[in-house]
């Protein structure tokens, strides 16, 4: 039982000590407040000097770098748009030139076609004229040959008539012979 009493006495003493400690913890002590404020101020200054300013400086540098990259991207975009516009203009000019070249080539081809057709018509006319002249010459030659043959036949008939006295029967025989000879020669 003594043990119990001594333990109870120890518990009372411990409760009183712990109460003092709780009271010290909960109580307002001006010295602790001042030291706490000084500690907070020192930590604030250390953070301000060693952390806030370098971080702000890095953020400003990043902001400048980003602005510079944006400006470069904008300049590149404008350059690309300008190049695209120049390309479109050159393409339009090239298309116009190609159309003009095609137009000129077509005109030259048509002129050449007309020239070739004119030359062909002229040659055809010359060939036609030569053919007509040749036909006319052949016709005249044939007529002259026919005249010559008729003359020969007439002379032949006349000689036979002159050699003989012609009676009606002889006349018919001569004409029949003449017609047979003419038909035979043809």
Instruction: Output the average pLDDT for the chain.
Output: 80
30 alpha-carbon distance from chain centroid: 89
**According to the model, what pLDDT value does residue 65 have?**
92
Specify the 3-state DSSP secondary structure of 92: helix
**Are 153 and 178 contacting, i.e. CB atoms less than 8 angstroms apart?**
yes
Specify the higher pLDDT residue, 22 or 32: 32
Domain count, the chain: 1
pLDDT category of residue 55 using cuts at 50, 70 and 90: confident
Per residue in 82-122, pLDDT tens? 999 998 899 889 889 989 999 998 999 898 888 999 888 89
Give the Cα separation of 85 and 98 in Å (integer). Answer: 20
pLDDT in tens, 129-174: 888 888 888 888 888 788 777 767 776 766 766 665 556 676 677 7
Q: Which domain holds residue 64?
A: 2-185
């Amino acid at each position: 039982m003594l043990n119990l009493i001594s333990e109870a006495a120890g518990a009372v003493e411990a409760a009183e000590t712990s109460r003092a400690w709780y009271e010290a913890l909960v109580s307002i002590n001006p010295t602790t407040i001042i030291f706490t404020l000084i500690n907070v101020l020192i930590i604030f200054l250390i953070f301000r000097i060693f952390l806030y300013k370098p971080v702000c400086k890095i953020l400003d540098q990043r902001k400048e770098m980003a602005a510079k990259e944006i400006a470069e991207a904008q300049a590149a975009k404008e350059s690309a748009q300008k190049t695209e516009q120049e390309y479109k203009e050159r393409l339009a000019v090239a298309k116009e030139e190609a159309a003009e070249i095609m137009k000129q080539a077509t005109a030259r081809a048509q002129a050449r076609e007309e020239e070739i057709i004119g030359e062909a018509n002229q040659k055809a006319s010359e060939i036609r004229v030569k053919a007509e002249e040749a036909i006319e010459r052949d016709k005249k030659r044939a007529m002259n040959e026919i005249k010559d043959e008729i003359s020969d036949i007439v002379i032949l008939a006349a000689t036979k008539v002159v050699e003989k006295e012609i009676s009606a029967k002889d006349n018919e025989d001569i004409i029949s012979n003449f017609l047979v000879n003419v038909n035979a020669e043809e």
